[in-house]
Structure formats: C-alpha cells, structure tokens
Amino acid sequence: MPDLLLIVILALIVFGAFSLLRNRSNGVQNQHLRLDDAKADARQAIERLGGQVYSLNPGDDPAATQALADAGERFTAAGSQIEQATTPGQAMLAKQTAVEGLYYIRAARTALKFDPGPPIPELDGQRAAGSVTEDRTVDFEGQSVAASPAPSKQTPNYFPGGRVAGRAVPAGWYSTPWWRPALIAGAWGVGSAFLFTSLFSGMDGVSSEVAAGDFDGGGFDDGGFDGGGFDGGDVDGSGFDGGGFGDFGGGDFGGGDFGGFDF
C-alpha cells in the first residue's frame, strides 16, 4: 500500500510539472502571437504613411511642405520603433506614431486644397485638447505667435492636437512650432502658462484647462501624442534650436499626387 501511495504522489508531481511547463509554453506562444499581430497592424499603418509621404508633392506651398516634412519624421520614427518593438505595447506605440503622421498628411492635403481623405483614428488626448477656432496673435518673449484654424504663409506649422509634456495643446495651425522644446525636453519652460492663457483664453473649441494653462506635471505620457516623441530635426536635416522656439525647415518630396487614401 505505501508503494502505491508513493506512485500516486510521484504521478501527481509529474503531472503538475508537465501542466506548469505547458501553461508557460502556451503563455509565451500567446505573447508571441499578440506581438506578431500588433506588429502587422502597425506595419500596415506605417506602409500607408510611407506611400503617402513619398507620393504627395507639396509644390511651393509652405504649409503643405512643413506638414509633409513632419509626416516624414513620423514615418522615420515609426519605422525605427517597430524594428525595436519586443512587446505588443511597443508595437502599438509605433502604430500611434504612424497615425500621427497620417494627420500631417491630411494637413498637407488640406493646405493644397485637396480632398483630405477619410477620417483617421483619434489620438490620445486629442479630444480634450480641442482645436483652434479663430485667428489670434500674441506677443511672447519678444516674438509674435499666431494661431489659426487654417493654413497660411503666416501659420504654416500644423499640430494635430494632444498632450505635450502633460499639457493639452489644441489642434491648429501656428506661426511657429512653439511646443517643440517641451516635446523634446519633456517639460515646459517658465512663462508657458502665460502663453497658453494669452493665446487660447476665451476661444471657442478650447477647454478651460487649456486656456488656463493647467497641466498635470510635465512628464511624457506614452499613450498621448508625446509618446511618439521625436528628437530630431525635420526630414531635410535642419536641426532644432533648443533655445527659443526653434527653426524648422521643410523637406522636399518629389513625385506626383495621389488620389485619396483609406485608413
């Protein structure tokens, strides 16, 4: 009888060890499947963005040229992110970066008065940030900063809306990419609250949080727009001047126009 009991105990131990190893193997396999699916989803968005970056010709329109340059940055960054992705979350971040790029493509097409195409998935923090609904110009630290709901020679820099270093920045067209230092450094400079208050106070379409210059601490939020942050200059190689607003040149992309796109 003791021998039988020992055999039963050993069998239970062997069965338990086998079950544990099988569950662990299934877990690893499921993780790989989720990663593969997430990578495939991201690559689809990246490929669509890449095709549009190299197909759209901005001509001599400054707003379209700058928007296309920004889209090119996102394409490059998304490609790097997906190559380094080892988790589904990292692959999703690469897709988010590509989606940001598609917003810049949409902006370039709008500047060229083309059909902007179908809707694009909403970015994290975009709805809460709101959008610029009127032309406004303020003086800030010796510079004139303009915001507009439409592209122009005075406002050639587009932002799709979202959180930058913990603060909501409305979608719109601006005279200068004044949010870039915070995007790169992860924190806003002294006086930024005054800029927000001056630029957005009382503007329809912008939340009271934005107009008041409120923010949640100044750190990067990987789920928001700044999660796909970019630390380089524009595609044409022009650098970012961290002291002040920065100077960003536009890239020049050859090729013909394309008709519509679907996402």
Among residues 96, 217, 231, 131, the alpha carbon closest in space to that of 166 is found at 217
Residues 93 and 81: beta-carbon distance below 8 Å: yes
Q: Which domain holds residue 222?
A: 125-248
Helix axes 2-55, 62-84, angle to 10 degrees: 160
Low-confidence ranges of the chain (pLDDT < 70): 1-2, 25-29, 213-263
Domain end marker among 121, 143, 160:
121
Q: Judging by DSSP bridges, how do beta strands 143-148 and 136-140 pair with one another?
A: antiparallel
Per-residue pLDDT at 25? 67
* Residue 1 placed within a domain: no
Per-residue pLDDT at 2? 65
Domain end marker among 121, 146, 166:
121
Per-residue pLDDT at 12? 79
> What is the gyration radius of the CA atoms in the chain, in angstroms?
24
- Mark whether 56 and 99 lie in a shared domain: yes
Per-residue pLDDT at 215? 52
For the entire predicted model, the pTM comes to: 0.70
Number of domains in the chain: 2
Domain end marker among 121, 137, 163:
121
- Mark whether 181 and 209 lie in a shared domain: yes
- Mark whether 92 and 135 lie in a shared domain: no
